[in-house]
Structure 1
Amino acid sequence: MHKKDQISDSELVTQYVAGNQKALAILVKRFHKTFCNHAYWIVKDADTAKDIAQDSWKLIIDKVATLQNPARFKSWALRIVHRKSIDYVRTIAKQKQQNQEYKVTKSIRDIPLADISQEKQQLKKAIATLSIAQQQVVRLFYVDELTLKQISNTLKISVGTAKSRLFHAREELKKQLKK
């Protein structure tokens, strides 16, 4: 057994809080893989699990001085990783739900063709040929009357990307409607 492995977690935590950076390095070496595995068990993506473990380490390092019982470091730190993993899963689920709510294909295709004029029918068909991403931006801009900044926040994209998608959608619609 190595000398490092003989040092308890609580002793390492105490040493780190006292200013020993090497103690933190030992803790990271001891637990990082465990944190990654725990996050992977929840999020089912290796890269995301590594990111969550890294973010968790940042929080652990910031808050370790507030840990009242250093002997409980492992369970305390795993709880942080667990919560961050669950938060990530919830965020992804919420984003998927928002994207489903703003899917243009459903709302545009659900409009009966007999109820609208010839020009609107042509426009509807032209919009249906756009990519889903372009349809989303067109709907949010023209139907929901959101600003480009609001669209970027809603779709979690940059303002530049929203502007670009809208521009390319308009250009494609011009081509489609000239036919």
Structure 2
Amino acid sequence: MRTEKEKALDTYLAAAARTGDRQALGRLAERWHPRLLAHAYRLTGEKQLAADTAQEAWTDILRDLPSLDNAAAFPAWALRIVSRRCARSIRGRQRHRAGEAALAREERHGAETDNEPETQSEMATIGRAIDELPRRQRAVLALFYTEGLRVAEIAAAMDIAPGTVKTRLMHARNKLRARLEGETT
């Protein structure tokens, strides 16, 4: 979760980059590329597609940054660009992606059952439960808890209505609760 200092730094860097400051742009990219890449991965489920999509998103970000009116909105704005790029990529590769994702889940599930000790840490259990959520719920959950974005910021980042964000959060929490309670009983 980003602190107030980090938010202020991001706002400053976005404002400076918007005016053409190359050093600020470099620092902004250094700070935000891993987050944008992680967001792309949450949405696509494929490392290479996520890397390609995040890189393409930077092209859009660099092109449109001078027109960003509110530098404080950079995180949601950049995440939204990534979300749109991911949606475009997913639409184009939907059939291929579905087959690969099914295979990857089977391989991951097989590896989990073969290699895990009987007693698992709570974080590993929660991580697996999160991995089983639908990708859209995973993305909203991660933006809310990991990135510390508010519902309105997530809505802007994912280009969906705030009510949809709340619904996805509710369903994700309910599924996690049911899954985790089922494992403890």
Q: What TM bracket, shorter-length normalisation?
A: 0.3 to 0.5
TM-score by length of 2: 0.46
Q: Taking structure 1 as the reference length, what is the TM-score of the superposition?
A: 0.48
Structure ID, larger Rg: 1
